[in-house]
Structure 1
Amino acid sequence: MTTTRPTFDDLIAWLEADRQQGQVHFDEHQQCWHVLGHPEASAVLSDPVVFSSDLSALQPDQDDLALFQRGNILRMDPPRHRTLRSLVAQAFTPRVVADLEPRIAELTTGLLDGVGERFDLVDALAHPLPVIVIADLVGVPAVDRPLFRRWADVLLGQDVDPDETLRAAGERAVDAVAPVVRVMNEYLLAHIRSRSRHPGDDLTSRLVRAEVDGERLAYEEIVGFVGLLLMAGHVTTTATLGNAVLALDDAPDATAAVRADPDLLPAAVEEVLRLRTPFPRLARITTADAAVAGVRIPAGQVVLPWLAAANRDGRVFAEPHRFDLHRRPNPHLGFGHGVHFCLGAPLARLEARVALRTLLERYRDIAVAADEPVEYRDPWTMVAASRLPLVVRPA
């Protein structure tokens, strides 16, 4: 393992060099298949039967991880995935999410009221805003957000070595991740039991009461479900807010255009998701021999659809490395594709739009501080800033 963490530019350069071997090819180092092209990645993600999301074969046997995986719909195939996802899908419809806009705007204003003209965007806004919103939806105390952040820092903080096999990387990560997953499991089980005794109007209470095939879900199944909603329900927005500020800082003309016409904000968010995709890659395992773009992939193989590469496929996106506010269409895969398309995408989009609109209205100038370092996660794991110092001038 290298001791210097790679940058986002390193990741993009690596992906573009890798693309020269073909949009679909085998990686001898990682012992997996890279899928880099947009239509190729879309094809893989559209076929959950052949390209399974159940990666348990890659995960070392460990009780805490196994418990969390029981309800983790990201690692579940149809029909079970479809059944469990439907239990909470109605809580994330565009209409339901739209009703949250006043609350999100109020929270954004309140959080920014507590900062001056220099602040860390992640600490001040990008982390607490989505955590408070998802904590309310799940029914856990928002005051526990420092705990949730520590969990995310460990679960998403494992550095990746592109020359290491995925199986070896998974085994190496277990020692660091398992103790945190144990604490998460205990916390969530206590919360689920409390909601069973004292139900409320939240997703956890709904899951406790829900029946699947005539049976209630076991508490141990709900753990992974709620844990995934809690983690995924905030880290994508945290990443997207930071990525948006970084992208706009690099594109002053786009910033000026959005300031002049706030109706461009939705397009700006989509272009940020395309150019700086929060989760750069997904993983699947073939259940049968498959062919992607004419390339044969045997059964039992690990396949990595690279969203970050697919979103810069020149066959689909003109000038793929340029931030373009007027890109039409913009069929990026930033939220995935197929049956596992991000359940919280409408909420993440709304939070990003509201927060960015408030920042641009509140400050006439927003700049990344030149005298303090920006800190990033390992981009092979997640494209996100963990610390983003800003200098602002009030409007």
Structure 2
Amino acid sequence: MNIFSEAHRRNPYAAYARLQRESPVLRDSATGLWMLFDHDSVKRALHEHETFSSRLSPPGNQTSQWLVFTDPPRHTQLRALVMKAFTPRVVANLEPRIRALAHELLDARIESGGLELVEDFSLPLPLRVIAELFGVPAEDRPRFQDWSDVIMAQGATLQGGEAQARVQAAFSRVTAEMNAYLQDLAEQRRSVPRDDLLTRLVEAEVDGERLSADALLGFFQLLLSAGHETTTNLINNAVLCLLEHPDALARLREAPALTASAIEEVLRYRAPVQFMFRVTRRDVTMHGQVIPAGSMVLPMMGAANRDPRRFQDADRFDITRNPNPHVAFGHGIHFCIGAPLSRLEGRVALGVLLERLKDFRLASDAPWEPRQAIHVLGPTRLPLLFTPSGRAIA
């Protein structure tokens, strides 16, 4: 089994089900990676940060400043500072603007009766939201897409060699560009504060500490890459799920109040992020196997969310599922800090799509191409045909 093959990444769930039965803890002989497939093991690896460390990035590498690659006490300090600025109220107040942006993107394509969902809608929407969060001028938005593509390319392979060296060189280049750009923008906010996330981040203080320039850049890179990629795939996967389950689509059109519940089921059924990375600090026994200290471990969240021991009819797509204890956004101290924003964007985007597009369907029967990063699930392109619907007066 090659979990990184295109066929597997398009639909990994039959393999997940077999492995949950036969080998819920598996060492891949080709890569040396340990993979965890059942819900309890995945949740344990995500929760027990003292055993399963997130410190995967070498000291001195810019990604070592990313929240997801830190352990306590540094993680605790960084998360407290970021949460001081990135509050639930800040996210909730974005809803009208997210809806307006979603309508604007569809306005450009609605009369044609067709759109490329990724390029025309699901990719630019979260990027525009992030740009507006940071108060970035409209003319600078294209740079965000370029930067995001380079950052996500780091997750396109686990192998070394020349290709990986080129990816790392490109990341170093854009890191320098992003740092210069962000520090200039931050200095502007220190001189003339504005009502945006960047102002709150540069002003945030906990116990006398503020975000360093490296930490600020790290959060910016994380939000621009992981935050954008997760939401793009959430929107794409929601459309795929509904197309594959027309009864659910019909019910959702009749009962839009189920949209939030439907988004949760998409997160479970087709998790945008399929696995995370951890490294063991000590020998640990799981399902009778000893994972040695220093081993790279992949908690397979996509598999855990289909574990029949945790979810009734786990392979059934049910937009009314309750409870729905999925781990699509992780678990424990590293629970995704951007989860409320991604959920909001997914809910608003899906609602607008259902409102504006009648009878949408795939424009091609060809298998879709998986996105670049190997740890995510979703299509690179998704052409749709539809019957235009009217624009609601907001």
Aligned twin of 2:124? 128
Aligned twin of 2:49? 48
Of 39-48 and 192-201, more deviation after overlay is shown by: 192-201
Distance of 2:37 and 2:214 partners within structure 1: 36
TM-score by length of 2: 0.88
Aligned twin of 1:27? 28
Distance of 1:3 and 1:81 partners within structure 2: 30
Which of 177, 187, 193 in structure 2 is aligned with 1:196? 187
Aligned twin of 1:270? 264
Aligned twin of 1:390? 384
Q: Determine whether 1:185 maps to 2:179.
A: no
1:60-79 paired onto structure 2 within 5 Å: 66=61, 68-79=62-73
Deviations 1:286-327 (A, max 9, x none): 112223355432211111100111011111112222211222
Q: Is the 8 A contact 1:131 1:142 kept in 2?
A: no
CA displacement at 1:3 relative to structure 2: 12
1:162-181 paired onto structure 2 within 5 Å: 166=158, 168-169=159-160, 173-181=164-172
Distance of 1:171 and 1:310 partners within structure 2: 34
Q: Determine whether 1:314 maps to 2:308.
A: yes
Which of 44, 64, 80 in structure 1 is aligned with 2:74? 80
Deviations 1:104-150 (A, max 9, x none): 11111111111131111112211111111111223333443333323
Q: Is the 8 A contact 2:370 2:380 kept in 1?
A: yes
Aligned twin of 1:282? 276
Q: Is the 8 A contact 2:277 2:298 kept in 1?
A: yes
Deviations 1:69-110 (A, max 9, x none): 242111000111111111122444433322211111111111
Distance of 1:224 and 1:211 partners within structure 2: 17
TM-score by length of 1: 0.88
CA displacement at 1:363 relative to structure 2: 2.2
Distance of 1:40 and 1:371 partners within structure 2: 37
Aligned twin of 1:150? 146
Distance of 1:249 and 1:100 partners within structure 2: 28
Distance of 1:380 and 1:193 partners within structure 2: 33
In the alignment, residue 204 of structure 1 is paired with which amino acid? L
Shift in CA distance, 259/157, structure 1 to aligned 2, threshold 3 Å: same
Aligned twin of 2:232? 238
CA displacement at 1:157 relative to structure 2: 4.3
CA displacement at 1:222 relative to structure 2: 2.1
Shift in CA distance, 2/346, structure 1 to aligned 2, threshold 3 Å: closer
Q: Is the 8 A contact 2:106 2:121 kept in 1?
A: yes
Aligned twin of 1:342? 336
Deviations 1:257-288 (A, max 9, x none): 00010111111111111111111111111112
Shift in CA distance, 390/177, structure 1 to aligned 2, threshold 3 Å: farther
Distance of 1:169 and 1:11 partners within structure 2: 24
Q: Secondary structure at the match of 2:83?
A: helix
Distance of 2:314 and 2:161 partners within structure 1: 32
CA displacement at 1:27 relative to structure 2: 2.4
Aligned twin of 2:6? 5
Distance of 1:198 and 1:184 partners within structure 2: 21
CA displacement at 1:360 relative to structure 2: 0.9
Q: Is the 8 A contact 1:117 1:392 kept in 2?
A: yes
Q: Is the 8 A contact 2:133 2:197 kept in 1?
A: yes
Q: Determine whether 1:94 maps to 2:95.
A: no
CA displacement at 1:178 relative to structure 2: 2.9
- Runs of at least 5 residues in structure 1 that lack an aligned partner in the other structure: none
Distance of 1:78 and 1:4 partners within structure 2: 35
Shift in CA distance, 146/12, structure 1 to aligned 2, threshold 3 Å: farther
Distance of 2:210 and 2:87 partners within structure 1: 24
Q: Secondary structure at the match of 1:319?
A: coil
Q: Secondary structure at the match of 1:156?
A: helix
CA displacement at 1:160 relative to structure 2: 6.0
Q: Is the 8 A contact 1:138 1:226 kept in 2?
A: no
In the alignment, residue 29 of structure 1 is paired with which amino acid? A
CA displacement at 1:53 relative to structure 2: 0.2
CA displacement at 1:373 relative to structure 2: 6.8
Of 202-211 and 184-193, more deviation after overlay is shown by: 202-211
Same amino acid, percent of matched pairs: 44
In the alignment, residue 179 of structure 1 is paired with which amino acid? A
Distance of 1:25 and 1:377 partners within structure 2: 25
